[in-house]
Chain A
Amino acid sequence: MADKILMKGNEALAEAAIMAGCRHYFGYPITPQTEVAAYMAKRMPKIGGCFLQAESEIAAINMCIGAAAAGKRAMTSSSSPGISLKSEGISYMAGCDLPALIVNVQRGGPGLGGIQPSQSDYFQATRGGGHGDYHLLVLAPSSVQEMADLVSKGFDLAEKYRMPCMLLADGTMGQMMEPVELREREEAPADKPWALTGTENKRKPNIINSLALEPQELEKWNEERFKRYDIVRENEQMSQSYRMEDAEICVVAFGIAARVSQNAVDMARAKGIKAGMIRPITLWPFPEKALKAAAGQCKAFVSVELNMGQMIEDVKLSIECSRPVSLCCRTGGMIPSPDEVLAAVERAAEGGK
C-alpha cells in the first residue's frame, strides 16, 4: 500500500486517471479546474501519453470523441461554462455509444457566473445537457480520495455500458487538499471490438455514427440504449448512509454539501434530534432505492444543495412525495454553513418547512 500524500482534488483525479490507463487528455484552461490540465501537461509526455490543449472546449470534447472512437481511454475536464460548450459533443458521444470521462469542477452560473464552488449544473449533468434522449453516468465525489477513486470507477462503468461518464465535482473538491492513497488499477481494460483501429483488410469497416434518418431506426436505437440505462439504474446506484440507523430526519446532500451536512447531522444529534444523511455518490442513476427505503423510517427529508434547488426534484420523485422535503441551499458560489443546515434540520424535526 502506498503512503498517503496530500494532494489537491484536481491533481488527485488527474493522477488517478493516468493510473487507470488514461493516456489521452484534451483540455482547455478554466478556473477552478486548470490544475488538471497543468498536471496532465507535466505527466503525459513522460509516460508516452497525449496531452493536448485544444483551441476550445468544443474541440477538446471532439478530440475525446476521436480518441475514444479509436478505442482509447479518453478524458477531458472543464468547469461549468466550458461544459455547456462541450454539451454538443457529449450528446454525440452518447449517440455514438462512446465511453469517455468528462470532469466538471463546477462554479457558479448561469452565464460567466463566478469562479467559486457550486452545484448548479446538477440538472445539466443528470438530465443530459445536450440535445436528444440520453443519460450520462454522473458520479459525485465528496473527498479528495473519492476524486481519485471515482475516476477509475467512472472509466470502468463508461466502458462497461458504452456511455460517457461525468465526474461532477465542485471548486472546493478541486482546490482542497486531503490525504489520498492512489491505487494501481487491477482490472484489465474492456475489450472494444467496435473501435476504429483500421480494418487491416481483415474485417468489415467499423462505423461510429449517431445519424439515422429513418425514424423507425432511430427509435430502435434509442429504445435499445434505454434498455441499457435500465440495467444501469438497477445495478449501479451508489450512496453512503451516515447515522441513518434510527434517523427520523434524512438530510440528502452530495459533494461539498454532504461534508457540511455531516457536521450539521452531528450537531443535531448532540441536540437530541435523530438526524442522518444519505449521500448520493451516483447522481445518475440517482440512488432512489436508498431514498425509498429511508422514506419508510423518516418523517421528513432535507435536500442540501449549492444551487436554487435541483436535486430536490429527484429526492421527491424517489420517495414519490410520500414525506415532506424541504430545501436548504446557497447559490452563486456560496456554501451553506453547518449552522444553516442545522436550522433546516431543526425546522424539519418540528414539522415546519
Chain B
Amino acid sequence: MIVFEKPKALTDAPLHYCPGCTHGIIHRLVAEAIDSLDIAGKTIGVASVGCSVFAYNYFNVDMVQAAHGRAPAVATGVKRADPSKIVFTYQGDGDLASIGTAETVHAAARGENITVIFVNNAIYGMTGGQMAPTSLPGQVTQTSPYGRDVNTVGYPVRICELLATLDGTGYVERVAVNNVKNVRNAKKAIEKAFRRQTEGKGFSLIEVLSTCPTNWGKTPEGATEWLEQNMIPYYPLGVYKDKYAEEAAK
C-alpha cells in the first residue's frame, strides 16, 4: 500500500526554493487539494512575480505567468473566458498586497469565482530581502536597515481583515505552515477554497504565513520560531469571513 507519494498535480521539476523555505510545502498543499478534488484537467493557474515566479514549472496544470501584481486580473480574464475552469493565483506579499492591491481588492469586491493563494513571508524574497507591505514594525530588511519605522513608512497591511469587510468576498482564512498542526489546518483551508470555487461560491483567499530563512537571516528552525513568535501575534490565524457558512447558520 502506498501511504505517501508526490501529488499528481506537481511536475517532476526540482523546486528552486532556498533550504527551509516553506513555498515547497504550500505548493504541495495546493497540489494535494487539486488531486483530492480531481480537478487537474480543468485547472488553470496564474503565476505571479516574486520567488514563486516559476510556479508554472511546478504545477502540472495549464499555467500563465502574470505581470507583477496583476494575477487576479489575469485570472479574471481566464475565468470569464470559461467559467467551467478552476482558476487560481499563487502570489506573494509584495505582489498581492503592494503593487497588486487594486487588482486583489477589486477581484474580491466583484466576488470573482477564483481561488487566491497568498503567501505572506513579510519580505521581498526574490529581489533579496527588501521591506514588504507586510513587514512587521521594527523588522530589519535591506530597505528598512534600522527597522521598519511606522512613523515614516507606515504600518503593515492585514489583507484578510481588509478583504473580510467586502460584501463580494466569499471565504478568507489565514493559516500558517510553521508546524504540523498548522500545516494540516492549512491543507484543509486550501482544499475548502478550491471546493468553494467548484461550487460557484465566489472569491476565496487563503493567506499562508510562510518563512524566508535566507532573507530573515535565520536557520530554517529559527525561522519557524520567528514566524510563531512575531508573525502570528500580528497576523492572527483563523477564518475572517465565510459567507456561505454564515448564511447556512442563519
Contacts and interface: CB of A to CB of B under 8 A. Distances in A.
Given A24-B81, A70-B77, A199 B40 contact: yes
Interface in A279-322: none
B41 A68 contact: no
A122 interface: no
B214 to A, nearest CB: 18
A140 B63 CA distance: 34
Contacts, number: 134
A213 B74 CA distance: 22
A69 B73 contact: no
A58 B70 contact: yes
A201 B35 CA distance: 12
A244 interface: no
Nearest to A64: B77
A200 B43 CA distance: 9
Given A88-B67, A207-B62, A62 B53 contact: no
B103 interface: yes
Contact of B62 (A64, A68, A206): A206
Contact of A199 (B53, B62, B64, B73): B62
Contacts of B205: none
Nearest to B65: A209
B76 interface: yes
Contacts of A205: 11, 59-63
Counting chain A CB atoms within 10 Å of each CB, the highest count among B65, B77, B78 belongs to: B77
A338 B46 CA distance: 52
Nearest to B57: A207
Interface in B21-77: 40-44, 46-47, 53-54, 56-57, 59-67, 70, 73-77
A201 B41 contact: yes
A198 interface: yes
Given A55-B103, A59-B73, A66-B80, A197 B65 contact: no
Interface in A44-92: 50, 52, 54-56, 58-60, 62-72, 74, 88-89, 92
Contact of A89 (B42, B57, B67, B85): B67
B63 A65 contact: no
Interface size class of A (residues with CB under 8 A): 35 or more
B61 A199 contact: yes
A71 B78 CA distance: 9
Interface in B107-140: none
Contacts of B53: 211
Contacts of B103: 55, 58-59, 62
Contacts of B57: 207
A208 interface: yes
A198 to B, nearest CB: 4
A196 interface: yes
A222 interface: no
A155 interface: no
Q: Is the interface of B mostly helix, strand, loop or mixed?
A: helix
Contact of A69 (B40, B74, B102): B74
A58 B54 CA distance: 23
Contact of A209 (B64, B70, B81): B64
B192 interface: no
B199 interface: no
A65 B64 contact: yes
B243 interface: no
B82 A59 contact: no
A67 B80 CA distance: 7
Given A70-B81, A70-B85, A196 B102 contact: no
A346 to B, nearest CB: 50
A271 interface: no
B42 A62 contact: no
B66 A199 contact: no
B42 A200 contact: yes
A71 B64 CA distance: 12
Nearest to B46: A66
A207 B60 CA distance: 10
A254 interface: no
A66 B42 contact: no
B79 interface: yes
A24 B102 contact: no
Interface in A168-200: 196-200
A88 B75 CA distance: 17
B78 A59 contact: no
12 contacts: A50-B80, A56-B102, A63-B76, A63-B80, A66-B46, A66-B64, A66-B75, A67-B77, A70-B85, A207-B56, A207-B62, A209-B65
Given A50-B81, A71-B81, A209-B64, 4 more contacts: A55-B105, A66-B79, A68-B77, A205-B62
